[in-house]
């Protein structure tokens, strides 16, 4: 763990609620690593698109796959600007006034240039990473990736040039003069949790869920499990 920070520019500097903003790697990565889905914003012919997809991280490199930026990237060999955001909702905050209603959340917004991973060895490494980052040591236990499958999968990478994290984790923020009003106020917490796994109906006799997946035990919080899996995959 270092105390490094992402540089701050007009692009990533928080415009509102800058009291909630953080720019250090640790804060940004903690939000990214706790999420399974990100949203990628990109532009084609002036039209913005916002695509949800699975992301993974190694150091200050973000990776995702699939089609999100594919049409765009096909036409721009040098890469194209994107913004990748990960958000977690942690609570609904009900105040005595509409204005002071809020949410508890964690979000990270990352800016950089998206590029296709073209090198075959680098691509194969990342096709294993997307499994192992979430499910410890799983890639080596799987049927090998075929050349056709590797060809059919697009891997995209982006070095995080600038980023910001925003966190609200607090109670109700009412005005002092509203506290005595006969209105219920409080926080309704929200958690994303894991339920009991369903086996594939085709499992051969004797095949059971490997212990490495105990991270995802029923009732566990998904964000906590994902953070733990990332720390196993890439200790910092």
Residues 44-73 that bind a copy of itself (CB under 8 A): 46-52, 54, 66-67, 70-71
Which structure tokens are listed for 163? Answer: 């980023």
In this complex, which beta carbon is closest to a copy of itself, that of residue 118 or of residue 149? 149
Q: Which of 5, 131, 161, 224 binds a copy of itself (CB under 8 A)?
A: 131
In this complex, which beta carbon is closest to a copy of itself, that of residue 29 or of residue 229? 229
> Phi/psi of residue 39, each to 5°?
-120, 125
Burial 82-103 (b: 16+ CB within 10 A, else e): bbbbbebebbebebbeeeeebe
Maximum pairwise Cα distance, the chain: 68
Could you say whether residue 99 binds a copy of itself (CB under 8 A)? yes
Count the neighbouring beta carbons within 10 Å of the beta carbon of residue 164.
23
Could you say whether residue 209 binds a copy of itself (CB under 8 A)? yes
In this complex, which beta carbon is closest to a copy of itself, that of residue 63 or of residue 105? 105
> Phi/psi of residue 73, each to 5°?
-70, -30
Tell how strand 37-44 and strand 47-58 pair up: antiparallel
Q: Which of 8, 92, 116, 224 binds a copy of itself (CB under 8 A)?
A: 92
Which among 19-27, 56-64, 115-123, 177-185 is the span making contact with a copy of itself, rule CB under 8 A? 177-185
Could you say whether residue 2 binds a copy of itself (CB under 8 A)? no
* Cα–Cα distances in angstroms (integers) from residue 48 to residues 32, 51, 69, 154, 206, in the given order: 22, 10, 11, 21, 50
Q: Which of 4, 61, 170, 197 binds a copy of itself (CB under 8 A)?
A: 197
What residues between 133 and 172 interact with a copy of itself by CB under 8 A?
134-135, 138-139, 141-143, 145-146, 149, 152-153, 171-172
Could you say whether residue 78 binds a copy of itself (CB under 8 A)? no
Could you say whether residue 34 binds a copy of itself (CB under 8 A)? no
Q: Cα-Cα-Cα-Cα dihedral of 193, 195, 201, 207, to 10°?
A: 90
Bridge partner list, 166: 21, 107
Could you say whether residue 75 binds a copy of itself (CB under 8 A)? no
**Residue whose pair of structure tokens reads 């796959």 in the numeric block:** 65
Which among 10-18, 22-30, 56-64, 115-123 is the span making contact with a copy of itself, rule CB under 8 A? 10-18
């Amino acid at each position: 763990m270092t105390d490094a920070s992402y540089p701050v520019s007009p692009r990533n500097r928080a415009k509102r609620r800058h009291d909630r903003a953080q720019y250090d790697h640790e804060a940004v990565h903690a939000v990214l690593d706790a999420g399974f889905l990100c949203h990628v914003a990109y532009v084609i012919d002036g039209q913005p698109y916002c695509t949800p997809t699975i992301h993974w991280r190694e150091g200050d490199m973000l990776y995702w796959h699939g089609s999100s930026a594919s049409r765009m990237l096909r036409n721009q060999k040098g890469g194209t600007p994107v913004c990748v955001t990960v958000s977690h909702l942690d609570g609904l905050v009900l105040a005595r006034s509409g204005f002071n209603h809020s949410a508890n959340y964690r979000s990270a917004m990352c800016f950089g240039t998206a590029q296709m991973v073209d090198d075959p060895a680098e691509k194969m490494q990342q096709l294993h990473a997307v499994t192992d980052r979430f499910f410890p040591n799983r890639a080596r236990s799987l049927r090998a990736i075929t050349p056709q499958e590797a060809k059919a999968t697009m891997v995209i990478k982006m070095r995080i040039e600038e980023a910001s994290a925003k966190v609200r984790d607090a109670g109700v923020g009412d005005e002092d003069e509203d506290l005595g009003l006969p209105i219920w106020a409080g926080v309704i917490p929200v958690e994303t949790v894991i339920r009991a796994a369903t086996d594939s109906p085709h499992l051969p006799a004797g095949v059971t869920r490997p212990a490495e997946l105990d991270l995802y035990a029923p009732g566990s919080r998904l964000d906590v499990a994902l953070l733990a899996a990332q720390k196993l995959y890439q200790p910092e």
